Amino acid sequence: TLRLRPPAPLALPHCARRSTSLGGLPVPAGSILVPNLLAAHQDPELWEHPEEFLPERFLSAGAPLRSLLPFGCGARSCLGEAVARAELFVFLGQLLGDFRLEPPVPGLLPSLRVRAGTVLRCPSFRVRLVPWEGAD
């Protein structure tokens, strides 16, 4: 989910300390660079079927985990990344351990279209929580 819809599609601006090049393009010292995380997460050279939601891709050896940067990277990465990842793991683990998530109408899946802005916003949708058989 964070690959397809990162919390902030553009990372914090960076300033080039010295002249360099990026992707073969010259970057003079003092240039301001704004990393486009959304584009990086959908680069077909790194991600097979980049537009598809395939969480199982991260279970296989050789998954491009180093290219997954939903919280940015380096000195300007999100300070809350460790807490956010831990909370997501615990919350979703507990939820998915007790319930199946189903659309309110069979076959009616939510739209992945977004409204662009500082953060990406998906349209609201409903989901049914169905207890697993034999769950306490």
Q: What is the distance between the alpha carbons of residues 87 and 81, in angstroms, rounded to a whole number? A: 10
62-96 tens-digit pLDDT: 788 788 888 877 776 788 888 988 998 999 999 99
CB 64 within 8 A of CB 41: no
The predicted pLDDT at position 36 comes to 87
Consult the annotation and say whether 78 binds a ligand.
Answer: yes
The mean predicted confidence, pLDDT, of the chain is 86
The predicted pLDDT at position 93 comes to 92
Q: What is the distance between the alpha carbons of residues 7 and 57, in angstroms, rounded to a whole number? A: 20
pLDDT band at 114, cuts 50/70/90?
confident
Q: How far is CA 106 from the centre of its chain?
A: 26
pTM (2 d.p.): 0.60
- Domain range summary for the chain, segments of one domain joined by +: 14-101
Strand partners, 20: 27
Q: What is the distance between the alpha carbons of residues 128 and 101, in angstroms, rounded to a whole number? A: 6
Backbone angles phi, psi at 15, to 5 degrees: -115, 125
